[in-house]
Amino acid sequence: MPQPPASSHYGSSVQQNGSYTQGYLFCLLCSLYYLFKIVFPLKNMSSPRFPPPPAASSSFGQVPQSPYQNIAPQATPSTHQLTNQISNILGTFALNSLYCEWLVSTKLANNNLNKHEPLWNKDHLSKKDILIQNSPQNLQWNICLNLCFNLGGSAGPYGGQLAGPQPGFPGSFPGGAAQMAGPPQKKLDPDSIPSTTQVIEDDQAKRGGQIYATNLRGQIPPLVTSNFTVQDQGNASPRFMRCTTYTFPCTSDLAKQCQVPLGTVIKPFATIPKNETPLYVVNHGETGPIRCNRCKAYMCPFMQFIDGGRRFQCAFCSCINEVPVFYFQHLDHMGRRMDLYERPELSLGSYEFIATLDYCKNNKPPNPPAYIFMIDVSYTNIKSGLVKLLCEELKTLLEKLPREEGVESSAVRVGFVTYNKILHFYNVKSALAQPQMMVVSDVAEMFVPLQDGFLVNYQESRAVIHNLLDQIPDMFADTNESETVFAPIIQAGVEAFKAAECSGKLFIFHSSIPTAEAPGKLKNRDDRKLFNTEKEKTLFQPLKGVYEQLCKDCVAQGCCVDLFLFPSQYLDLATMGDVPTHTGGSVYKYSNFQAEVDGTHFLNDLRKDVEKPIGFDAIMRVRTSTGFRATDFFGAIHMNNTTDVEMAAVDCDNALTVEFKHDDTLNEETGAFIQCALLYTTVGGQRRLRVHNLSLNCSSQLSELYKSCETDTLINFFAKSAYRAMLNQPLKNIREILVNQTAHMLACYRKNCASPSAASQLILPDAMKVFPVYMNSLMKTPAMVGSPEISTDERVLQRLCVMAMGVEETQVLLYPCLIPLQNMDVSSSVLPGAVRCSEERLSDNGMFLLENGRLLFLWLGQACPSELIQSLFNVPSFAHLPEELNSLPELDNPQSKKVHAIISAISERRTNRMKLLIVKQKDRPEILFRQHLVEDKGLHGGASYMDFLCYVHREVRQLLT
């Protein structure tokens, strides 16, 4: 048996097979293995005691054609034996804890690691670049984790019980493990496992600030966290579409084998930064957009013009179509149309068509959409000060309704309804001297009592509206009505839009569970006894019946529902949120709302929500080239059939995830095309078609697939599919499926793509190297963990929100951004670099910002420098901070300004306005904050990152045998 080389050999091994090029991490972990070998002799372990290489090692499924030399030693020590060895060394017995082993190996590893880290870092980075240039086809980025498992003394090699983690769930380890392990040991350096912040930083360093031109098929875009500029050169910007992988496997067998989901996350109305070109609008006049006669795909850069330009072949169904006379253009010597660059639909990935009347309801041009504000004026909302706050805010907010590009004022009409257990509609016609209130108490059969004067142009009726908004808080100031209705108000909105023949959005400001006698009456069904049982799913399921029908009605009319909730207790969000989530709306929840405390946060949300760009009455179709098709859709959508995605509205934050499945074999040469066409009504009342095109590579090599995977998109896919599955399956099953699939993907990679290595090594594809941390975080999200400390509504809310999230939002939600502030450079304009989300990174004398797209924490260490406290809070020291810290004062000093600047910079790029929570170390609310340190063990259950890796590794190994 060759003696494992000393650490310096790593360098050479990398050079030899060119496999281990990515980062220190791999090297570090690989080194563990060797270190064992080094260590054992040191401990007087004579080599003869090593058994010969087990036959099992070949069963790992080495890729026969792999040109790489296995970096792992030929003789892999059996774990079983290793354990014994270690037991002996450490003089401990009954080492049935995985943790012990981990610690041992890590401890040992650390010793060596620190010495070499800098060297590797530098070395590998530079070498990687070279390698890419020289032999890209040979490139294989692996992350190997060498993990050792105690498989139990008496059990077979791998059949042993895993004592540490709870069965079926990568839970926490027994508390006594550390003691059992004998002498006090250092913890494993967390830096040794793949770091998300590092990946983000690297990508930003490499691709940030650059132009990303979408001219290549199957091109992998920069990470969502990176700051880049897109140049549309024939494929849709990654802001609109992101794929789980940019290389599809050629056959369904391959796809099944690897279990990497093939999907794309589409955010059709994604906000485009100012420095990128907005979408061109193509108008073909009365003929409308040019489409393939057979599959109805829209004209796009993938269409092939033949026959001198007289005909074109559809890229999606291969049908050959005549080019309409007015559209004819000669081809150049390359077979491209001469007007290629004059026509967006021939040269760009994303563009819009003006739709003709054929694309409109009843063949009539649509009316501009309308916004209806429906305010619950029951006791709770009056008392909390919401109604007053809201009415005041609306006066200014209505000035900023979304409007068509280049148009003076918004065409969106507005209407107002207040309600408790009966509804009050308001006539705010401009001709009136004062508004008129119309009460509808017949909630059983809702209708809209007026048409003319209900939906009005704000500019025209401003005086009457202001009059109304002034009066509403006073009118109900003495109310003692505490009962509310809910379904009837949505019904009323739908009816209003129906009567006005337009689409639109309802803004509902609701306080409590609707208990008044009316359709859609709800009762408390929040039973925490159901947590972690088979029946837990019922808590997430909306009640059928009234709300189901409402969803259909809303979508049919293009009525989007945005729900702002101000509950003081359970309100069956699962049911109440059903309509918003099926109509492309959002749900906001402000528990125990107090206008003074939560007002700003709410208003920020509201402003953003009202102002955001949006399209109405949308119907989307995802067309694909032959060989595969869209089979599943996740998101805040409604589907009447299997292909048409209907959304009452799509705004700039709505994203839906589409899964593809093979129909047939894909061709490596032609690749795969996806066209997403969205028909919608603009805020100005124009019917348009938005088309996004994307071309992908196809390969029969799984390694290609793994290479072009996108972790952030993958996790978005998994999050949505898991959150959807919550409705039908127990959480336990879902977690199992998630882990299994994770393990499967990794095992498949290991089996087919990675160079043969020791079973004890966990090998992660480079593109997926931080995938486990996200996956672990996903499984720890409140929705996925039934804990009595988290309210059902809160879990439901998260579930609903995630369903509509895009890649960017799921990324930050599952791996929050933790920014240290204590050492910030006040003079610099860049954000301080984030650190890993782990308690270890916090320090008593530090101050940290943590944000996950929904919440923003400012964590103050107990030993936080007094100067910093002084400059931020204007109190002398940490001890002087008040009990209740609700806001961060804006003070005139560089530190304060910088922190505010950082906060606003963070907020700017998020879809939601985040509420700032200031958390003091060791204070009770700190629990909230700690939940978001996703690398640590979950407070309500759920493994730490490290434990999870171990668990996955075990699964992988089981799969490989």
Partner 1 sequence: MATFQEFIQQNEDRDGVRFSWNVWPSSRLEATRMVVPVASLFTPLKERPDLPPIQYEPVLCSRATCRAVLNPLCQVDYRAKLWACNFCYQRNQFPPTYAGISEVNQPAELLPQFSTIEYVVQRGPQMPLNFLYVVDTCMEDEDLQALKESLQMSLSLLPPTALVGLITFGRMVQVHELGCEGISKSYVFRGTKDLNAKQLQEMLGLTKPAGQQAGRGPQTTQVPLSNRFLQPVHKIDMNLTDLLGELQRDPWPVPQGKRPLRSLGVALSIAVGLLECTFPNTGARIMTFIGGPATQGPGMVVGDELKTPIRSWHDIEKDNAKFVKKATKHYEALANRAAANGHIIDIYACALDQTGLLEMKCCTNHTGGYMVMADSFNTSLFKQTFQRVFTKDVQGAFKMAFAGTLEIKVQLEIGTGGTCQWKICGLDPSTTLALYFEVVNQHNAPIPQGGRGAVQYVTQYQHSSGQRRIRVTTIARNWADAQSQIQSIAASFDQEASAILMARLAVYRAESEEGPDVLRWLDRQLIRLCQKFGDYHKDDPNSFRFSETFSLYPQFMFHLRRSPFLQVFNNSPDESSYYRHQFMRQDLTQSLIMIQPILYAYSFNGPPEPVLLDSSSILPDRILLMDTFFQILIYHGETVSQWRKAGYQDMPEYENFRHLLQAPVDDAQEILHSRFPMPRYIDTEHGGSQARFLLSKVNPSQTHNNMYSWGQESGAPILTDDVSLQVFMDHLKKLAVSSAA
The binding site for partner 1 (CB under 8 A) comprises 422, 424-425, 432-442, 445, 447, 449-453, 467-468, 471, 475, 499
Nearest distance in Å: CB 362, partner 1: 13
- Please state, in angstroms and rounded to a whole number, the distance separating the CA atoms of residues 128 and 23: 9
Q: Among residues 811, 541, 671, which one has the least CA distance to residue 249?
A: 671
Q: Which CB atom, from 420 or from 695, has the smaller least distance to partner 1?
A: 420
- 844: tokens are 């008593």
Contact 686, 628 (CB under 8 A): no
- The residue type found at 349 is G
- Please state, in angstroms and rounded to a whole number, the distance separating the CA atoms of residues 148 and 156: 15
Nearest distance in Å: CB 473, partner 1: 12
CA 723 to chain centre: 12
Q: Which CB atom, from 442 or from 867, has the smaller least distance to partner 1?
A: 442
Q: Are strands 311-313 and 304-306 parallel, antiparallel or unpaired?
A: antiparallel
Q: Among residues 812, 835, 825, 811, which one has the least CA distance to residue 717?
A: 811
- Please state, in angstroms and rounded to a whole number, the distance separating the CA atoms of residues 356 and 288: 5
Q: Which CB atom, from 469 or from 802, has the smaller least distance to partner 1?
A: 469
Contact 617, 671 (CB under 8 A): no
Which residues, at least 6 apart from 396, have a Cβ–Cβ distance to it below 8 Å? none
CA 794 to chain centre: 18
- Please state, in angstroms and rounded to a whole number, the distance separating the CA atoms of residues 8 and 38: 13
- Please state, in angstroms and rounded to a whole number, the distance separating the CA atoms of residues 223 and 228: 9
Give the sign of the dihedral formed by CA 376, CA 379, CA 381, CA 386: positive
CB atoms within 10 A of CB 536: 21
Q: Which CB atom, from 46 or from 362, has the smaller least distance to partner 1?
A: 362
DSSP string, 916-927: EEEEETTSTTHH
CA 367 to chain centre: 34
Q: Are strands 855-860 and 915-920 parallel, antiparallel or unpaired?
A: parallel
Q: Which CB atom, from 463 or from 881, has the smaller least distance to partner 1?
A: 463
CB atoms within 10 A of CB 925: 14
Number of H helices, E strands in the chain: 27, 31
- Please state, in angstroms and rounded to a whole number, the distance separating the CA atoms of residues 423 and 940: 42
- Please state, in angstroms and rounded to a whole number, the distance separating the CA atoms of residues 702 and 258: 8
Which strands sit side by side in the sheet containing 855-860, from one edge to the other? 817-820, 847-851, 855-860, 915-920
Q: Exposed, middle or buried by CB within 10 Å (0-12, 13-18, 19+), for 54?
A: middle
Helix, strand, or coil here: 432?
coil
- The residue type found at 784 is M
- The residue type found at 219 is Q
- List the alpha helices (DSSP H) in 513-613: 537-540, 546-557, 573-576, 578-582, 595-611
CB atoms within 10 A of CB 396: 10
HSE-CB for 315 with a 13 A CA cutoff: 22
What does the H/E/C string look like for 311-349? Answer: EEECCCCCCEEECCHHHCCCECCCCCECCHHHCHHHHCC
